[in-house]
Amino acid sequence: MKIVPVACLQDNYAYLIVDESTKSAAAVDPVEPEKVLAAAGEVGAHIDFVLTTHHHWDHAGGNEKMTQLVPGIKVYGGSLDNVKGCTDQVENGIKLSLGKDIEILCLHTPCHTKGHISYYVTSKEGEDPAVFTGDTLFIAGCGRFFEGTAEQMHQSLCVTLGSLPKPTRVYCGHEYTVQNLKFMLTVEPDNEKMKQKMEWAQKQREANQPTVPSTIGEEFEINTFMRVDLPEIQAKFGAKSPVDAMREVRKIKDNWKG
C-alpha cells in the first residue's frame, strides 16, 4: 500500500491510502477535496471512499464537497460523532476492505470527541501496518479532552492504540510535532529519545517535509501521554495512577504557553 500525506489548511493532514494493485484509494479527512483529488490523480489512483476521524470542521469539512465531486462516494464516520456528509456510520470493530490487498479496522478512540475513530490499516503485502489517529494521538502529543475524560484518553492511547504492533506507522491529523516535543522536553528534560526526535523534526520542517509517520513503538519513548503507565512518570507528577498522570500532564499542557 502507498500512503500519501496531503497538507491542508494551516497545519492539517489529509491522507490517501492507495491499494497499488487496483489503484483504489481511500481519503482520510479530505478537508480540501480538490487538493486530495489532485494528489490521487498524480499517483493514478481513484478515490472509492472517505474515512472521517471525527466531526470537527477541519477534518470533516470537505465531506459534502467530496460527495458532489465524486458522485456516489461513501463517507464513513463514527456513529457517536455527528459527522457532516457521512453516508455510512462505523463503530469499534467494523472492518472495511480497500482494493484487493488492504483491510481497514475501525477503532473507537474517544475523548477528543465522543465518536472519534482511528483507522488501523493492514496489507496482504506484509508491509508494516499503519494507523490514522486524527486528533487522538499526535506525534509526541494527544488531542485536547474536549468531549471526554482522562480515563477515556488513557484507554484510547495506552490500551487501544498502545496494543497495536510496535512497528505500526502513526499518521496523525496535524503537523504539531516540533511544538509537542518542546513541551515534552519541559516534563522529561533528560529523555534522549525526545531530544533526538526534536533535532530530526526541526530539520524536517526546515526542509518543508512532514514529520509523519512515527510508530507506536516510538510513541512509547517520546510521548509522555503514552508513558503514564511507567511508575517514574507517575512519580514525577505525584500521581497515584496512570489516569491521574494523564490528567495532570494534559492540565499542564493546556496551560503551557510554549
pLDDT digits (tens, 9 = 90+) for 181-239: 999 999 999 999 999 999 999 999 999 999 999 999 999 999 999 999 999 999 999 99
Cα distance between residue 65 and residue 62, in whole Å: 5
pLDDT at 152 over 90: yes
pLDDT at 64 over 90: yes
What pLDDT is stored for residue 48 in this prediction? Answer: 98
What pLDDT is stored for residue 2 in this prediction? Answer: 97
Cα distance between residue 2 and residue 26, in whole Å: 11
- Own/partner pairs for 242-248, CB < 8 Å, 24+ apart? 242/154, 242/158, 243/150, 243/151, 243/154, 244/150, 246/150, 246/153, 246/154, 246/157, 247/150
Question: What is the crossing angle of helices 177-187 and 192-206, to 10°?
Answer: 160
DSSP class of 224: G
- In the chain, what are the domains? 2-255 (3.60.15.10)
- Which residues are marked as active site? 54, 56, 58-59, 112, 135, 174
Q: What percentage of the chain carries pLDDT values higher than 70?
A: 100
Mean pLDDT of the chain: 98
pLDDT at 79 over 90: yes
Across residues 4-23, what is the average pLDDT?
Answer: 98
What pLDDT is stored for residue 258 in this prediction? Answer: 83
Neighbours of 190 (CB within 10 A): 7
What pLDDT is stored for residue 126 in this prediction? Answer: 84
Across residues 150-170, what is the average pLDDT?
Answer: 98
pLDDT at 107 over 90: yes
The answer to whether 124 touches 116, Cβ cutoff 8 Å, is no
The answer to whether 125 touches 25, Cβ cutoff 8 Å, is no
Neighbours of 169 (CB within 10 A): 18
DSSP class of 83: -
Cα distances (angstroms) measured from residue 43 to each of 25, 38, 49, 188: 10, 9, 16, 41
What pLDDT is stored for residue 189 in this prediction? Answer: 97
User: In which band, very low, low, confident or very high, does the pLDDT at 254 lie, cut at 50, 70 and 90?
Assistant: very high
pLDDT at 125 over 90: no
